[in-house]
Amino acid sequence: MEKPYIIHAITPVKAVSPFDINMACDAGYGVVVPYTNVETGEVPGLVQDMIFSRAPGDAKRTGLFIAGRDILKALDMLEAARGAMVPPFEISVFADPSGAYTTAAAMIAKVEAQLEKAGMGLAGARVAVFGGKGPVGGVAAVLAARAGASVRLVGHDGAASVAERADSYRQRFGVTLGAVDGSTDAHKAAILVETDVVLAVARAGVQVLSRAQIAAAPSVRVVADVNAVPPAGVEGVDAFSDGAAIEGTHAVGIGALAIGNVKFKTQHGLFKAMREAAKPVYLAFDDAFALARAQCRKAA
């Protein structure tokens, strides 16, 4: 009997997302086993039970998926898993907490594609992240900064609320992120006049910017919004929008479902890459961005 493809899904919170379980199954894993409330220190023991229970030749039939909500803790868990491998007993690992890595990768890849249509690029672009305290906003900010953009995290309750995040990302990833106050309409207006790209990554159902605010900032060229729950995060950006002009503004919009289409393909592709890899791979948001970027360029 052929041995099944098994993926072990660990999370430091109380549940593994059904979304991730469905994605793993659709990518070819026949058995998905969730482990909840896992501490980082428990990862090595779990990993060694995974690797030593199958022959090295079956490595690609076993995978580890790291979930949760904390983008930094997921990376800590990935490194703990990597350190627990004992070659030739080694399996592939993929981290994507709250889907943040693949969603942010898709968002930045879609933004880059729109900038390139306008003869621009991420390098030198001025990016404002509304909702930068969240996981998607954090990863998107890091990816944009690594690609050469000048990135600011916008705090809806003041700059101090995002300054700590900006500093933690600087220490972890070596990127410089600004932290600015977006608590009033006047502060938002001041931010937008010095912005080329708006990333709206606030919680679902919260509108962070109006169409009038975007219209008053002619430098804004691209607005990407991951919010699929009405009202839109940015007024005038339809969930289906894929580069459509935002009426009355100089900007085009990228909606949640256009981003989600690339996110879906990216997460599926990384699960599939784990299952098909000749040698074990360790996948995180840089890998997600590379795949999302390739998809967007192929579609251009």
Please indicate whether the domains covering 6-95 and 100-259 agree at the CATH topology level. Answer: yes
Q: Which residues contact 89 (CB under 8 A, 6 or more apart)?
A: 51, 52, 56, 59
Whether the model clears a pTM of 0.95, i.e. scores above it, the answer is yes
pLDDT band at 156 (very low <50, low <70, confident <90, very high): confident
Which H helix or E strand runs over 126? strand 126-130
Q: Round to whole Å and give the CA distance between 177 and 149.
A: 10
How confident is the model over 6-36, as pLDDT tens digits?
999 999 999 999 999 999 999 999 999 999 9
Structural Rg of the chain based on CA atoms: 20
Which alpha helices (H) appear in the chain, and where do they start and end? Answer: 18-26, 43-52, 71-84, 100-117, 135-146, 160-173, 185-192, 211-215, 256-276, 285-299
179-214: buried (b, 16+ CB within 10 Å) or exposed (e) per residue?
Answer: bbbbeeeebbeebbeebbbbbbbbeeeeebbebebb
For residue 242, which phi and psi values (nearest 5 degrees)? -135, 65
Q: Round to whole Å and give the CA distance between 208 and 258.
A: 19
Question: Is 5 within 8 Å of 30 (Cβ atoms)?
Answer: yes
Q: What string of DSSP letters covers 190-250?
A: HHHTT-SEEEE-PPTT---B-HHHHHT-TT--EEEE---SSSPSBTT--TT-EEEE-TTSS
CA end-to-end span of the chain: 44
How confident is the model over 47-75, as pLDDT tens digits?
999 999 999 999 999 999 999 999 999 99
Q: Round to whole Å and give the CA distance between 93 and 158.
A: 37
How confident is the model over 243-264, as pLDDT tens digits?
999 999 999 999 999 999 999 9
């030198």: which residue's tokens?
A: 124
Question: Is 197 within 8 Å of 145 (Cβ atoms)?
Answer: no
CATH architecture assignment, domain 100-259: 3-Layer(aba) Sandwich (3.40)
Q: Is CATH 3.30.1330.10 the right assignment for the domain spanning 6-95?
A: no
Tell me: pLDDT of 290 over 90. yes
Tell me: pLDDT of 1 over 80. no
- Domain positions in the chain are 6-95, 100-259
